[in-house]
């Protein structure tokens, strides 16, 4: 079966609500969304619906939903270098990630960081004096080597099939479901752990961990969703269905 996009009406495009502090990333995400809309129906209301995922904390930036698939796409602008940020908590002995099955927990393993100390804010100690007692321990960022497929593993587990990297193109996270022929996302990766604040002023309020990737080690993809990027003229939806643009 060959489906031409003037009649194919089973896809919906959903964008994830994002904070204003990631405006440049959100702008790039919107550009990719527009490119997808142009590919999948020229923004026809009978075909393409825009819907925010209210309160979403994780998951793909954009989803292509058909009767057969829910295909997540994560967008990274050229200034991005990390993904999968998670907040840490204190278990009474050390700082850990609450999801013990996450890739972050597996990378952290049994390591004790920051000398086993708890962040003062987590204990309700919110004064400058309390923070200054441990400031020298918490200020250096911590980097832990990770497998070069850690980003792909993380995003695959949250429903992301593809990563779109500005100026480098489209990559899959383990299943090139459309059989486009894009490369697997794989490059040097580290888990970075650091303190952060809710506001610019004041003492640190969180300890977070994120996966830092070296995009300069990536092989450039032959296909891209960038505005001037090359994209196939057709996609294979399943064994019996081909989408022709």
**pLDDT at position 54 over 70:** no
Instruction: Give residue for tokens 């429903």.
Output: 159
Average pLDDT over every residue of 155-173: 95
Dist CA 40 CA 105 (whole Å)? 38
**pLDDT at position 4 over 80:** no
Average pLDDT over every residue of 88-101: 95
**pLDDT at position 181 over 70:** yes
Dist CA 136 CA 133 (whole Å)? 8
pLDDT for 199-228, tens place per residue?
Answer: 878 899 999 999 999 999 999 999 999 988
Dist CA 12 CA 238 (whole Å)? 18
Q: How far is CA 149 from CA 133, 185, 187, 208, in A?
A: 38, 7, 7, 20
pLDDT for 183-201, tens place per residue?
Answer: 999 999 999 999 999 887 8
Dist CA 233 CA 171 (whole Å)? 18
Average pLDDT over every residue of 118-129: 96
Cβ partners under 8 Å of residue 32, min gap 6 = 61, 62, 73, 75, 164, 225, 226
Chain mean pLDDT for the chain: 83
pLDDT of residue 61: 86
Average pLDDT over every residue of 119-137: 96
pLDDT of residue 3: 44
Average pLDDT over every residue of 130-135: 96
**pLDDT at position 15 over 80:** no
């Amino acid at each position: 079966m060959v489906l031409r996009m003037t009649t194919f009406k089973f896809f919906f495009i959903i964008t994830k609500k994002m904070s204003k502090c990631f405006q440049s990333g959100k702008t790039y995400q919107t550009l990719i969304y527009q490119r997808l809309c142009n590919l999948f129906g020229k923004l026809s209301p009978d075909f393409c619906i825009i819907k925010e995922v209210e309160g979403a904390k994780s998951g793909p930036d954009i989803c292509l939903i058909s009767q057969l698939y829910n295909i997540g796409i994560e967008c990274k602008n050229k200034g991005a270098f990390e993904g999968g940020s998670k907040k840490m908590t204190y278990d009474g002995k050390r700082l850990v990630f609450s999801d013990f099955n996450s890739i972050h927990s597996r990378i952290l393993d049994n390591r004790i960081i920051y000398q086993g100390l708890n962040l003062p804010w987590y204990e309700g100690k919110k004064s400058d004096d309390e923070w200054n007692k441990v400031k020298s321990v918490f200020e250096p960022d911590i980097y832990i080597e990770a497998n070069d497929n850690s980003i792909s593993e993380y995003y695959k587990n949250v429903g992301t099939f593809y990563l779109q990297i500005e100026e480098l193109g489209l990559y899959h996270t383990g299943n090139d479901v459309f059989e486009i022929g894009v490369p697997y996302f794989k490059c040097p990766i580290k888990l970075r752990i650091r303190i952060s604040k809710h506001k610019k002023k004041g003492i640190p309020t969180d300890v977070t961990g994120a996966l830092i990737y070296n995009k300069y080690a990536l092989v450039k993809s032959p296909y891209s969703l960038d505005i001037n990027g090359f994209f196939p003229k057709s996609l294979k939806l399943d064994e019996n269905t081909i989408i022709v643009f």
